[in-house]
Structure 1
Amino acid sequence: MKPLKVIATSCMLLTTCGCSSVMSHTGADQGYYAGTRANVDMMKKDDTSWAMIPLLAIDLPLSAAMDTLLLPYDYLRSDSDKKAKSPKARVQQAEEQNQATSGNPDQGMSKP
C-alpha cells in the first residue's frame, strides 16, 4: 500500500510543477525564466488577491526548476521572431483568413 501512496503523491507533485512556467511557454517567446518572472510580477501587483499570493509562493520554486529544465528549449527559441503570436492568436488569425476567403464573414455563426 505504501508504494501506491508514494506514486500518487509523486504524480500530484508533478502535475503542479511550474504552472506559470508551462503557461508562459505556450505563447510567444518571452525569454529565459519566463514563468519565474511571471510569478514574481504577479506577486508584486496590487490587484493580486490575498488568496493567490500563497499559491504563487508555492509555485515560484517549482517554476524556477521547470524554467531551468527548459533552458535548452528557450535557447533554441531565442533566435526566433519575438513578435510571434500565441496559439490562440494564430487560430483567430487563421479563422479570419478562412472567413475572408470564403466570402461569408458569418460562416459558422447562427443568426437570430
Structure 2
Amino acid sequence: LKEGLCLELFYAKKVPELCDLCDAPADVRWTAVMFYRRFFAVRSPMEFDPLPLMFACVHVACKVEEVHAITLERLLEAADFGADEGLKARVTRCELPLL
C-alpha cells in the first residue's frame, strides 16, 4: 500500500513537469492534475500503471481545453518516449477509464 502511494505521488509531481516540457498552458496543467488526482482518489496504482495514465491525463486535458497543437506524439517526444509504440498504445487504452 505504501509503495503504491509513493508511486502515485511520484507521478503526480511529474504531471506539471510534463506540461512544462510541451509548453502547455496553465489551463491544461490544472486540468491534467485534477484528472490524475481524481482518478487515483478511487483507484489503486496497482490496478493502473501511473506512467501511461500521466500521459493520458495531459493528452485528455489538451483535448478538453482545446489545445490541439499538443498531440500524443508530441507529448511522448517531449518526454523522450517518441519511438515507443507500446507506450502509445497503453496511453490510448487509459483514456476511457480516465473519463
TM-score normalized with structure 1 length: 0.29
Query: Which one has a bigger Cα radius of gyration?
Result: 1
Greater fraction helix: 2
TM-score normalized with structure 2 length: 0.31
